């Protein structure tokens, strides 16, 4: 009994003064490496499926496809959406095309914000907008959903304090024909008008990540007031 107490005392003194028992294996302490890379979630709204490809309501998808192509990355089918990742000057960018269908877009946005622990200040949502002429755009730091079902559902789940890029699709439809218009496909001529705005949207995303919402709005919103003229290649 006395011998056992003496051994226990020796072990205690060894721990206090940095000595270790040769027979006792030391377990290394776990160190948690902090994640220092800023992360951004860029969401392009639309509907999944070939029947919705090139429709006006999928303009958000089209912008993210253009960004992914320019960044040489591909989307993977993951929970609630098609997801692609890249980095830009030390910042991580997560692209998300929700597969929840437009009216439930908020489920995908909320899930990926929480999963990646991304602040809403680093969320940008790209959506179509009938109140703007085709080929124009407007970037805002927050605001109402403007009657857009996808933005409306996002607002229900996370509020309206997030940036959104509205891509103009025009409103050349008769009364009561809005659904047919937004779900209709772009014509070849309309794509010609839309393409410069999509390319500009890619630059807007990069600026949002690198410079923030205020500087990006000041730099780009004036350019989005009228459709850009596509340069002709001679």
- Catalytic (active-site) positions: 57
* Count, residues in the chain: 234
Residues 6+ apart with CB under 8 A from 163: 123, 124, 125, 139, 140, 141, 142, 208, 213
Asked whether 165 and 126 are in contact (CB, 8 A), the reply is yes
Could you tell me the two tokens for 156?
A: 């229900």
Could you tell me the two tokens for 118?
A: 């991304």
In angstroms, rounded to a whole number, what is the distance separating the alpha carbons of residues 172 and 163?
Answer: 27
Q: What are phi and psi of 148, to 5 degrees?
A: -80, 125
| CB-based burial, 32-59: b 16+ in 10 Å, e otherwise | eeeeeeebbbbbbbbbbeeebeebbbbb
């Amino acid at each position: 009994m006395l011998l056992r107490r003496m051994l226990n005392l020796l072990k205690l003194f060894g721990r206090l003064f940095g000595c270790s028992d040769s027979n006792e294996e030391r377990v290394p302490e776990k160190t948690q490496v902090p994640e220092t890379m800023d992360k951004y979630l860029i969401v392009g709204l639309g509907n999944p499926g070939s029947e919705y490809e090139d429709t006006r309501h999928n303009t958000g998808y089209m912008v993210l496809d253009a960004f992914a192509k320019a960044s040489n990355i591909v989307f993977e089918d993951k929970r609630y959406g098609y997801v692609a990742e890249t980095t830009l000057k030390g910042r991580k960018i997560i692209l998300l095309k929700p597969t929840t269908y437009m009216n439930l877009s908020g489920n995908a946005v909320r899930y990926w914000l929480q999963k990646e622990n991304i602040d809403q200040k680093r969320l940008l949502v790209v959506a179509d907008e009938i109140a703007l002429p085709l080929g124009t755009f407007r970037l805002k730091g927050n605001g109402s959903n403007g009657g857009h079902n996808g933005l409306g559902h996002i607002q229900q789940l996370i509020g309206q304090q997030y940036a959104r890029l509205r891509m103009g699709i025009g409103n050349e439809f008769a009364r009561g024909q809005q659904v047919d218009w937004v779900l209709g496909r772009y014509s070849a001529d309309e794509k010609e008008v839309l393409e410069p705005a999509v390319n500009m949207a890619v630059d807007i995303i990069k600026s949002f990540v690198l410079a923030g919402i205020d500087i990006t709005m000041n730099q780009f919103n004036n350019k989005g007031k009228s459709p850009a003229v596509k340069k002709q290649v001679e």
